A and B are shown apart, each in its own frame.
Chain A
């Protein structure tokens, strides 16, 4: 019995460490490249990578929840664009920045809520509903912005993503701190709350969850609404970074977000995944991009490498989970 318990403990440790090892491997490779050795692991570069990761990371927090619950959200990137446009529009219209930010986040939440409501009411697969929403949100963003960029006056909102934050004791951009705080919060929600356990149960076997009295529809709507709120926050960060509301921003970003979750051990058939894993997935991709750029490698090399990593990560995951039955 003791041997068995040690084994399972060892296995959990390996499961936890595997994505970490991937990240360390990538860091090791780039920091041993003679060309960029001196710059790659410098604090300034790490800060910049962290700041660059914020937008994908916030999206990935919500996406992790959605994927664990057995769903998918293809509208994430469009939702980010829409929220950033709404934020810019509101600031431009003279609203106080705080209100504008709130409006941006709520827009994201509303899109997510509609996703969830449609998926549960129409009983259609999330792929279809969110694919439709991907087009709708993008279209609405362009409509609001009148197919242009919305210029907005500079406010404190634009400092959320500043690489050197104003009170210098902050060390990292406020956006990075927000990302960390929300990541911890979501990890706690998933592990220690009734809602979190219900999401896992729904993703693993929705019929069983229903039979056990889990209010599956309600939980799913909440899941998509939370994912939407994170997209809204991510949209605010996008606006903060660009200082304009651009309806054409973040095209295809939903795939980066999904990739991060999957690299981090999320299963597209539901029931598996973790916030820590997804965050590591985000950083694996961010460091790759950063390293490749510093090396002066062309874009297509990055794309190929990231493609390979996705496939490798998921196959490794399968091997790790192979059961002896």
Chain B
């Protein structure tokens, strides 16, 4: 359940940003989670409810944007999208690849009130 650690870290970052702005709470937070990041968005949403209690995020609108994984094939050099880390290149069937995108766990933006 590392999603709880992630939710608590987000709370910590939001608390810092709110303090820096001299304001009191967050109205909206937008997260970016890659589909290869190893973070279950349902588990994160569940952990979120507990993690944000009595914090600046308690009443915040919570949005998650999903990033689709992508990789470059090291055999035929084509770029392709991945649903799973173990997907092969659709052009040549090779598994040797370099991941380009999909492992993001980011706070994109905050609306501070």
| A, B co-complexed | no
